[in-house]
Amino acid sequence: MTPLPRFHRLPAERQEAILAVARAHFAEHGPASASYNKIIEAAGFSKTAAYQYFDGREDLLAAVLDDVLDRLLGVLGPWTPARDEPHFWALLEAGSHALVAHLRTHPDDLALADAAVGRAQGSTWLGWFGAVVEDGQRLGFIRTDVDQALLAGATAAVMRAADEWALGALSSARSTAQAAQTAPGSEQVWSLLRGLWNGGADGGAGHAH
């Protein structure tokens, strides 16, 4: 389920404008409740014209969720193989901070992130975490006795929960300066991951660098 070919022939700016309007409505009212008629009206075209671009509401929602997932993966960028374990943790921390910063300033993406990942059935999203796990296994500090796909899924779940937690901490900060000092509580997150990745033997040590 994707937009009709005519949508892709629109100028990129017009495509983004349409998706931005729809994203805001789906984020505010929920993927199951947002009004298709109100979305296309806000986007500036009639229902008849809308069917030149989308088969219907679900087609538009799919386009929005695919775009949200692309935006999140664009923030993370491709995983770069690390030189060693300290470099691995530095890369992971940089990616985590970038994603939290993006979600903090793009609440529509935050509201739709879970639906976007679910629509993709985790394939693209989990592929990123699969690359992280595979790299850690190559470096010798991530366990290999658990199926890699399962470990990638569990890692993604921990990081998603960590993002939500970090955003909550940031929103309660009283100033930008304070937020910068408190965001996010990396040591606790890395301790969770190390426990997951090495069978719970972390002992609260935190990350390696």
What residue ranges define each of the domains in the chain, with the CATH number in brackets?
5-64 (1.10.10.60), 77-197 (no CATH)
Percentage of the chain surpassing pLDDT 90?
58
pLDDT digit string, tens, across residues 31-74: 999 999 999 999 998 888 888 999 999 999 999 999 999 999 99
pLDDT over 90 (residue 161): no
As a whole number of angstroms, the distance between CA 119 and CA 66 comes to 8
Q: Could you tell me the pLDDT band of residue 20, with boundaries at 50, 70 and 90?
A: very high
Number of neighbours of residue 66 by Cβ within 10 angstroms:
18
**CA nearest 50: which of 99, 58, 145, 24?**
58
pLDDT digit string, tens, across residues 110-155: 999 989 988 876 678 899 999 999 999 999 999 999 999 999 999 9
As a whole number of angstroms, the distance between CA 193 and CA 196 comes to 5
As a whole number of angstroms, the distance between CA 129 and CA 152 comes to 5
pLDDT in the model for residue 121: 66
